[in-house]
Structure 1
Amino acid sequence: MDDQTDGGGRRIGTQEAARLLGVKPATVYAYVSRGQLTSRREAVGRGSSFDAAEVEALARRSRREAAAPAGDLAVRTSLTLIEPDRYFFRGVDAVELASRYAYEEVAEWLWTGSLPRGARFTAPPEVLAAARRAVAALPEHSGPVDRLRVAVAAAAVADPLRFDLSEEAVLGSARCLIPTLVGALPELGAAQPGDGPLARQLWSRLTPREPDEQALRVLDLALGLLVDHDLAASTLAVRVAASARAHPYAAVSAGLGALEGPLHGAAGRLAHRMLAEVLERGGAAPVVADHLRAGRRVPGLGHRLYRGEDPRATALFARLDGLAQAGPALAAAREVAAVMARQGGLHANVDLALAVLTVSCGMAAEAGETVFAVARTAGWIAHALEEYQERPLRMRPSGQYQGPRPPQPMP
């Protein structure tokens, strides 16, 4: 059939689509069956037509993937760039961005590349009620990630539009999901307004203490700094789920599942406990010695992506320096870092800085994990949005079989 145009743009026939893609016509229909292309049946005898822009986009992706080094899992992203001592969100210095803008505004920048001043996230009452009922049914000893996972599942069931993967629908879900996660957590202090800044809403779920504005600014900074950090284990899990076209709630659930692993999400809890012990014993040296004697890694130190101090820790330490109640915990953290610097040059990471905040503000050991999970949900949504624009199921590595070679006798 000849090329034609309609209200949706230029459309082309099967032969032209095959030529652009460099494949046989039968392969074009295989792309359709796998969800990589959409086709439209034309009038009798005219066959199927394809959106030319969609075909050209698939051709560009295929050429890029063909050029990628064999065996490498490289994920294209326009979100976060990490350099030896800095990191950037969409090309903008992340520390400077999070220092100037509220968490919600940083999230909007990561999602859309725009900065709507005064952005606020509000949980729909019916969704929030469903999440609270589900979380309330859990045992009292449930951890924060347990509660967040259940809240995500409840919010998903309450959203009939969750399978709509368009950018507009996914962002609408994200703006509702994040405050729902916060609102579903048990209240430890006086509840804050549901339509106020997210840091203020979260505060009463972390500590029974009344917030002061300086402490809230530290918490908001922590949320903004932790929005994204390239392909951490939990983020990769999110992209794998999104590659299979899981809806955004399921993708976030995948991230929370990976976060609960002791090598990813538990670092803040361990740093909190270590810092509390340093304060109790009056010095860092005996605590560090106990960790090393037991063969345990000293938490809150070192990061594989930074040669010096984690820039997120540097920013949080600077803001905590102006928080009166943080003085003892901040001095303890700096003493730990100084002791370890003599042992091998390890520097403070964001977990140690978060521990200063949680210890000094009367928060529980798992509070840092809660802050991390809530903050990173925005980044997970951003990565899911990117992955929805890629070829479905592209993250399918081949296993290296190490078992007995066939044929083997039947057991």
Structure 2
Amino acid sequence: MTDQAGADGLPEPPAQRLTTRETAERLGVKPETVYAYVSRGQLSSNRAPGGRGSTFDAAEVDALARRTGRREPASPAGELAFRTGITLIESDRYYFRGVDAAELAGRHPYEEVAEWLWTGELRPGIRFTAPAEALAAARRTVGALPAHCGPTDRLRVAVVAAATADPLRFDLSREAVLGGARSLIPTLVAALPAAGGGGGSGDAARPDTAETTAPPGLARQLWPKLTARPAGEASLAVLDTALGLLIDHDLAASTLAARVAASARAHPYAVVSAGLGVLEGPLHGAASGLAHRMLAEVLERGGAAPVVADHLRTGRRVPGLGHRLYTGEDPRARALFDLLARIPQAAPALAAARDVVATTARHSPLHANVDLALAVLSVSSGMAAEAGETVFAISRTAGWIAHALEEYGERPLRMRPSGHYTGPRPPQPLPVAAGAPSQ
């Protein structure tokens, strides 16, 4: 008998076979990936009748789908799309685990927002503490950098130094990752030199027992690293809210880099390093610095019109305006503008920002984004142009950790797109060194 008998003695129906396209759709991958599964021994295939293409056992495909997790949602634009339960951006608002992010950041300090993002639980009064050994290593390393180094340079080496002080960094269990995150973020803040202190070993190398025993909130720790001006409570509230607002924003470029690293099972410090490497680009974390310089120029020249005109004349986009995910004003900018309006010394910079928006609206209906709001904070508080980038990097570290935790629960190395080769077709002759005599 060629057919096996079932429990009722009747022949079992032949196994359902799927085409390559049907298999790819069921798995949520490209057809090329289906054949990659075959080459790795994760799927078996048979030649389709007539020798055109391959067919796959439906039960085997479904079993692979269960092992690798549910299929990813298709993206109509052909872009990468991953399932995530962290941030939703919808109808010009955004949400952390279903909660309005602007409201959450406005009512809770950064550490509590981070805990909500990581665990889905609110922990009132939680404070992050920098371990003495990691802090000492980070400060020594940061203190050895040349004075001209920027804050992101310092943060990158501080992450590496903190990693070397943590022998348990390769433990990817949830508890270990969260413990390391709660230590790493305050270590990064404490490793930065005080504003105006230069990049030498002085401030960055001195231990501070207050930071290792009874730390204040992270915003209060970060403020003196950004400006030499004293911190008023209203200004601290703006900084703390900014930290909370910027923790995550779906799959931004740096977050995608962090998830790729986590997909390869890199430890959390390496995940943060990957995020920092992308963040420094002028189209991402460094964008607030461009807005800072523009606002400073508007204040110096007495109005936005000549500054906006210069940008348009030279073909440059006006910094701090527009966002591909929002049709109206960035909700993060709106939340920060509301707080900045309560600070008298921020009034000139805030008026300059509104002048930029109004002037540009004559040419293009663009709305303010969070970079412009960060620029108002940095300009009005006597911070350097790079301050917004520092705030961004410190804040987003928590978001990268949240995404790493999600990615550690997915199939390893799932982010392996196929290259579309456009070079010369083989076989090509071996290359010959320039100037060598022809054979």
d(CA) in 2 for partners of 1:361, 1:276:
12
Preserved contact between residue 192 and residue 200 of structure 1 (Cα < 8 Å): no
CA distance in 2, matches of 1:158, 1:188: 26
Distance 1:264 1:374, change over 3 A: same
Task: Work out which of the residue numbers 109, 123, 133 in structure 2 matches 1:116.
Answer: 123
CA positional deviation for 1:322: 0.4
Counterpart among 103, 114, 134 of residue 107 in structure 1: 114
The DSSP-based 3-state class of the residue aligned with 2:112 is helix
Judging changes above 3 Å, is the alpha-carbon distance between structure 1 residues 112 and 58 closer, same or farther for their aligned structure 2 residues? farther
In structure 2, what is the equivalent of residue 150 of structure 1? 157
Q: Distance in 2 between matches of 1:248 and 1:180?
A: 14
Among all aligned residue pairs of Structure 1 and Structure 2, give the percentage whose two residues are the same amino acid: 75
Q: CA deviation at 1:261?
A: 1.7
Q: 1:250 aligns with which of 270, 275, 290?
A: 270
User: Is contact 1:333-1:356 (8 Å) kept?
Assistant: yes
CA contact (8 A) 1:192 1:204 kept: no
Aligned partner of 1:201 in structure 2 is 221
1:383-402 map, 5 Å = 383-402=403-422
Task: Output the CA distance in 1 between the equivalents of 2:219 and 2:343.
Answer: 16
1:234 aligned partner = 254
Matches within 5 A, 1:121-136: 121-136=128-143
2:74 matches 1:64: no
Tell me the TM-score normalised to structure 1 length: 0.84
Kept in 2, the 8 Å contact 1:79–1:90? The answer is yes
Q: Quick check: 1:193–1:201 contact (8 Å CA) kept in 2?
A: no
TM-score, length of structure 2 as denominator length: 0.79
CA contact (8 A) 2:68 2:410 kept: no
Separation in 2 of the partners of 1:273 and 1:338? Answer: 18
Task: Point out the more displaced range, 56-65 or 347-356.
Answer: 56-65
CA contact (8 A) 1:84 1:305 kept: no
Cα distance, 1:409 vs structure 2:
1.9
Structure 1 residue 30: deviation in Å?
6.7
User: Structure 1: which 4+ aligned runs deviate by more than 2 Å?
Assistant: 56-73, 188-193
* Residue number in structure 1 paired with 2:304: 284
Give the distance between the partners of 2:386 and 2:94, measured in 1 at CA. Answer: 26
1:305 shift after superposition: 0.3
Q: 2:96 matched to which residue of 1?
A: 89
**Cα contact 1:329–1:360 (8 A) shared by 2:** yes
1:294 aligns with 2:321: no
Task: Specify whether residues 353 and 193 from structure 1 end up closer, same or farther in structure 2 by C-alpha distance, changes over 3 A only.
Answer: farther
Q: Tell me, yes or no, if structure 1 residue 225 matches structure 2 residue 219.
A: no
Matched letter for residue 255 of structure 1 = G
Residues in 2 aligned to 1:128 and 1:346: alpha-carbon distance in whole angstroms: 43
- 1:6 alignment partner in structure 2: none
Deviation of the 1:57 alpha carbon: 10
What is the match of residue 11 of structure 1? Answer: none
Asked if structure 2 preserves the Cα contact closer than 8 Å seen for 1:192 and 1:201, the reply is no
| Distance change (3 Å), C-alpha of 1:248 and 1:299 | same
Alignment of 1:180-191 (within 5 A): 180-188=187-195
The amino acid of 1:181's aligned partner reads: L
SS of alignment partner, residue 331 of structure 1 = helix
Taking only aligned residues, the RMSD between alpha carbons, in angstroms, comes to: 2.3
User: What is the CA deviation profile of residues 157-205 of structure 1, one whole-angstrom value per residue up to 9, with x for unaligned ones?
Assistant: 0000000000000000000000000000001279894211000000010
Whether contact under 8 Å (1:131, 1:152) holds in the other structure is yes
Look up the SS of the partner of 2:362 in the other structure: helix
How many residues are matched?
Answer: 363
DSSP-derived class of the 2:127 partner: coil
5+ residue gaps, structure 2: 1-26, 28-37, 43-61, 197-202, 432-439
Q: 1:236 to 1:327 in 2, by over 3 A?
A: same
Distance 1:248 1:63 in 2: 22
Closer/same/farther in 2, CA of residues 228 and 69 from structure 1, 3 Å limit:
closer
Cα-to-partner distance string for 1:274-311 (whole Å, 9 max, x where unaligned): 00111111101011011111111110000000001000
Measure, in 2, the Cα distance between the counterparts of 1:358 and 1:254: 26
In the alignment, what sits opposite 2:436?
Answer: none
Deviation at 1:116, TM superposition (A): 0.2
How far 1:265 moved relative to its partner? Answer: 2.1
Whose Rg is larger? 2
> How many Å apart are 1:64 and its aligned residue?
2.4
Deviation per residue, 1:22-67 (Å, 9 max, x gap):
9xxxx9x977xxxxxxxxxxxxxxxxxxxxxxxx997535362388
What residue in structure 2 maps to residue 380 of structure 1? 400
